Structure 1
């Protein structure tokens, strides 16, 4: 079986498939042990405004909302069984209510659609999480790749967002130059700097946790370091952070719930710190 180190920092469908194979047995076992509590709950009017819930807390518990990646253009909350759903199942295993959302995709839905959808999902959970054992006053957001951008954009659109904290995994916040692919979401290059959420994440008063992977592409590593430096300059200390050795851009979120507990334990500690 191909190892993550052998794959290196490249991205693409074949790489994603190879990464899935590495964790397939463990994640299929988790999928069998933690089935969804509810699926395709509508948090908005668009057909992509749907989320799934995992876990049945017996007392009000933190709510973890996961926003998947996909380069603004693709991705799904269930993803043929587990890669994105795994984060919701992992949250349920911690005793929390896990929520995994879909959102509108580019190029049909451009900036700030992803951030707007995160806000709509948060608002829905604030109203309904209690029906499923979640505490609507203790919502934590986790986004990976494009999902991290959408979480950051939610902070940009609503600076007083009523969540306890945000976990940003390998996102792009505006510290590196625009790439052609980005224009499918952000629009014309002249709008890039005013639309990226760089200022929002630099100045956010909410607790942030940042993570990158050893084999993230260099652009994503530069973004991680840029935001780390900016938070240090703005607040006088670095945010909680984790560099996942032995992982790449895809496996950073994909492996949550497996026997590699390092990132999961860091996020769990962050949630405990934010939610008491």
Structure 2
């Protein structure tokens, strides 16, 4: 989890990183991904001493159905957070290298959360709705009574459910759980869902990754759209978008906000992360650029509060 830096190397400058992220602009491709990862890599830290980590816990039989669990050491009651990473529907991993995604688990566990960072099956071998199926399976696995891997969750116990956070493709998979009736059981156990920079309504032209997941029959896409499937009575949702998300991705978040406003009679909470691109929101968590982490801690704390 530590990114080695030569002893004589200059100390990393988070202000320079923020300038560089802005310079990459409102686009996203592998070049931007790798450049952004490189910018934040010098800030990666080891899992702190106050956090216990269990890797590769199986929530299902497939090799991809694994998660890492970060817990505050000491056994104090802690609420549950499930993080569903992105990866373009055909890639991605809970351990994305250079401590990526482990930074999410370590950061929130150090601040009083039990955090599961999950993998899920990937397209094209596992097309729609496999991602949502795996998120639902992980929720059910985490909330089974008397779970041997989890610490105490407080007086309300597992029956209180958990908070889930999905980013990019992970947000699409989580949105499927929130809005698709076939996952109503798992959705009923969500205290809240954070949907960050996701694809919620497949529309032409689809990029290769989403196309591999949703299929090449565009007539089937409306029935596979979390946005179009949204109905009243869903779990509380926070929508999140980056200033430098590609415009087509940003529009999807705003379209979902419009849909939920019409359904619910009020606008859902909506965060815009100024100065961030599609992945710097997550990569910055646990670095000196703490704007995203602090904003999410406030919302997560409210979502997990007793009702």
TM-score, normalised to structure 1, is 0.92
CA deviation map 1:82-140 (0-9, x unaligned): 22221111220221001100000000000000000001111110026564225222411
Q: Does the residue aligned with 1:226 lie in a helix, a strand or coil? A: helix
1:42 aligns with 2:71: no
Choose which of 119, 142, 145 in structure 1 pairs with 2:136. 119
CA positional deviation for 1:35 = 6.2
| Residue in 1 that maps onto 2:276 | 247
Aligned to 1:149: 172
> Are residues 1:184 and 2:201 paired?
no
Distance 2:281 2:152 in 1: 25
Q: Which moved more, 1:176-185 or 1:109-118?
A: 176-185
1:146-196: CA deviation from partner (whole Å, max 9, x where unpaired): 000000111213234211000000001117545152221111222111111
Runs of 5+ consecutive residues of structure 2 not aligned to the other structure = 1-15
Long gaps (5+) in structure 1: none
Residues 255 and 192 of structure 1, relative CA distance in 2, 3 Å threshold:
same
Deviation at 1:198, TM superposition (A): 1.0
Conservation of the 8 A alpha-carbon contact between 2:48 and 2:106? no
Are the equivalent residues in 2 in contact too, given 1:228–1:239 (CA < 8 A)?
yes
The structure with the largest alpha-carbon Rg is: 2
- Cα 1:176/1:252, change in 2 over 3 Å: farther
Provide closer, same or farther for how the CA distance between residues 204 and 224 of structure 1 changes in structure 2, counting only shifts above 3 A. farther
**Alignment partner of 1:174 is 2:191:** no
Which of 138-147 and 263-272 deviates more?
A: 263-272
Q: Does 1:109 align with 2:103?
A: no
Residue 19 (1) aligns with residue 36 (2): yes
Distance 1:94 1:38, change over 3 A: same
Aligned ranges 1:129-144 → 2 under 5 Å: 131-135=149-153, 136=158, 137-144=160-167
CA distance in 2, matches of 1:124, 1:52: 13
Structure having the larger proportion of residues in helix: 1
Q: CA RMSD in A?
A: 2.1
Distance 1:189 1:33 in 2: 50
Checking the alignment, whether the CA contact within 8 Å between 1:34 and 1:54 is kept in structure 2 is: no
Is structure 2 residue 195 aligned with structure 1 residue 195? no
Q: Relative to structure 2, which stretch is displaced further, 258-267 or 96-105?
A: 258-267
TM-score normalised by length of structure 2? 0.83
Task: Identify the range of structure 1 (192-201 vs 171-180) with the bigger mean alpha-carbon deviation.
Answer: 171-180
Q: Pick closer, same or farther for the CA change 1:239–1:132 going to 2, 3 Å.
A: same
Aligned length: 275
Of 11, 18, 26, the residue aligned with 1:9 is 26
Does the 8 Å CA contact 2:202/2:214 hold for their aligned counterparts? Answer: no
Higher mean C-alpha deviation, range 31-40 or range 206-215: 31-40
Contact kept, 8 Å, 2:203 with 2:221, in 1: the verdict is no
Partner of residue 83 from structure 1, selected from 91, 100, 116: 100
- Please, which of 227, 232, 242 is the counterpart of residue 213 of structure 1? 242
